[in-house]
A and B are shown apart, each in its own frame.
Chain A
Amino acid sequence: MESTEKNKKYWNPVIETLPRERLIEIEVKRFSEVLRWAKENSPFYKRKLYGIEPEDIRTLEDVAKVPITEKDELREAQAGKEPYLYGDLLAVPSENLSVFHQTSGTTGKPVYIPDTYESWQWVVEVWCYILYAAGFRSTDRVFLPFVYNVYIAFWQGHYAAEKLRCNLVPGGALETKGRIQKMLEVRATALMNTPTYGLHMAEVAKEMGIDPKRDLYIKKMICAGEPMPEPTRLRLEEEWGAHVYNHIGGTEPGGWAGMCSEKKGMHVIEPHYLFEMVDLETMSKPIPSGVKGVAVITPLCRRCIPLIRFNLKDIMMVMDEPCSCGRTSIRVDQVEGRVDDLRKIRGVFFSPNMVEEVIRAKFPEVVEFETILTQEEVMPVLTLKIEMDPGLSEDQHKKIRARMREELKVKTNLTFEIESVKPGSLPRYTLKSARFKDLTKR
């Protein structure tokens, strides 16, 4: 009885508490199998993996010798190739496909990712691990304030919550005020959100005279769609009076890591994924835990479109110490930024996430912000536009800007121009925020 109670915190206690050595054995074996499947069924991988024999993969060191797959290669494998849309990547007959998603296209032409019924159910199953670790249960009424569109994140969340037998309320067709009213009406206890929209909803609720902490029933929130620095997560917890959980995922690999009740980093959903870290400079050499690097992932059970050592371009770090929740999977720290957003300014690496970390941790007066990089003659210039609480005086604005300049200097080693702008003048985002604009020629 006691062990049954203990196991209630896991979606699958068998897998989630396996010794690390056993997890690695299963992952390496599956990697070899997915390699074979990809070579035999995907024309793209038949070419790319020429000369690599699946039976030669016996250790993680062998895995690291297999070439990394880049997003641009996926685009090339699809452009103008048959079958239409999915091209050379596809490893199953087109008539077996039942689900369509695509990337947002923020870094180029979108990549189209289909699923068969089988591969989609696997994607949903993985999200069940994520939701369960975040405390979602059949007793929850879950509100989803989005139109899911062609993007994968909330579709996964929707079907995983359904599989957990949560009572699901889709609020996509409503405006923000309508969504807040609906959450109140149905007494939703859990919410799926983007960090940006979570903050925006709290702002709108207060304008409506509704305090999310006092008047709504939300006890837990899971965020998707964009990186969430820890100060943003804490700010959301404060605004909503709820437990807020982070997760990591993407269209190509699906959701692959999630936060447990300890809220210290995110557990990779092993052995459904094989996770590796490579160095920032060459993006190929494996690095040890505790060092910042770039995440590389291989989904191990999704046969429809295999992805072998896919470069996520997310910058993060593996955490060393075991988690007190009892899960034995690798834990990663928050996503610290994207390689695509990383800039070298005056000899210093700058990631836009650093600005968000400072603002969310130390300046609750800031409602919205935007960082702009321009080039003036030979010097790159970073300008930060901020929208502040309208109740503040110009004198208070001045003091906040001065303190912000100092804090940003400490955090980034760079000097910012800071401008206060009119309340409501900066864009608000629901899905992927775009608070960094690079107006220089890279």
Chain B
Amino acid sequence: MEYDLKAMDLEIKAIEERTLRLKELGAGIEAVQSNADSILTFTYILKRTISDVIE
């Protein structure tokens, strides 16, 4: 495989972790919660389309 899937997976997990941290920091701010949740939706899709492929 010509792509470094493991490196991509690490980045996806890092985005997820940082987004969860952002949610904590922005507790009570609806605009932060909602936009952070949108990011988490797309990390979910990235995990299904990249991370799950790694054996």
**Chain A residues near B (Cβ < 8 Å):** 3, 12-15, 18, 22, 26, 30, 117-118, 121-122, 125, 271-272, 301
10 closest A-B pairs by beta carbon, nearest first, are A118-B41, A121-B41, A301-B48, A125-B45, A3-B2, A12-B49, A14-B53, A117-B41, A26-B52, A118-B44
How far in angstroms is the closest Cβ of chain B from A78? 26
A-B contact count (CB 8 A): 35
A-B contact pairs, 5 of them (CB 8 A): A14-B5, A14-B50, A30-B52, A117-B37, A125-B49
Which chain A residues border B48 with CB–CB below 8 Å?
122, 272, 301
Q: Is the CB of B2 within 8 A of A18?
A: no
How far in angstroms is the closest Cβ of chain B from A155? 17
Which chain A residues border B2 with CB–CB below 8 Å?
3
Closest Cβ neighbor of B3 among chain A residues:
A14
Closest Cβ neighbor of B37 among chain A residues:
A117
B1 touches A (CB below 8 Å): yes
Q: Provided the pairs A15-B49, A15-B53, A272-B48 are in contact, do residues A117 and B38 lie with their beta carbons within 8 angstroms?
A: yes
Interface range for B:
10 to 19
Closest Cβ neighbor of A30 among chain B residues:
B52
Closest Cβ neighbor of B45 among chain A residues:
A125
How far does the alpha carbon of A121 sit from the alpha carbon of B49 in the complex, in Å? Answer: 13
Q: CB within 8 A of B53: which of A18, A121, A122, A301? A: A18
* Interface members, chain B 1-26 (any A CB < 8 Å): 1-3, 5
Which chain A residues border B42 with CB–CB below 8 Å?
121
B30 touches A (CB below 8 Å): no
How far in angstroms is the closest Cβ of chain B from A25? 8
Which chain A residues border B52 with CB–CB below 8 Å?
26, 30, 271
How far does the alpha carbon of A13 sit from the alpha carbon of B5 in the complex, in Å? Answer: 12
How far in angstroms is the closest Cβ of chain A from B12? 13
Closest Cβ neighbor of B50 among chain A residues:
A14
Which chain A residues border B5 with CB–CB below 8 Å?
14
How far does the alpha carbon of A118 sit from the alpha carbon of B42 in the complex, in Å? Answer: 8
How far does the alpha carbon of A14 sit from the alpha carbon of B3 in the complex, in Å? Answer: 8
How far in angstroms is the closest Cβ of chain A from B45? 5
Closest Cβ neighbor of A119 among chain B residues:
B41
How far does the alpha carbon of A301 sit from the alpha carbon of B42 in the complex, in Å? Answer: 13
Residue of A12, A118, A272 contacting most chain B CB atoms (<10 Å): A118
How far does the alpha carbon of A272 sit from the alpha carbon of B3 in the complex, in Å? Answer: 20
How far does the alpha carbon of A417 sit from the alpha carbon of B2 in the complex, in Å? Answer: 61
Which chain B residues border A12 with CB–CB below 8 Å?
49
**Other 10 A-B pairs with CB < 8 A, given A3-B2, A118-B44, A121-B41:** A12-B49, A14-B50, A14-B53, A15-B49, A22-B55, A26-B53, A117-B38, A121-B42, A271-B52, A301-B45
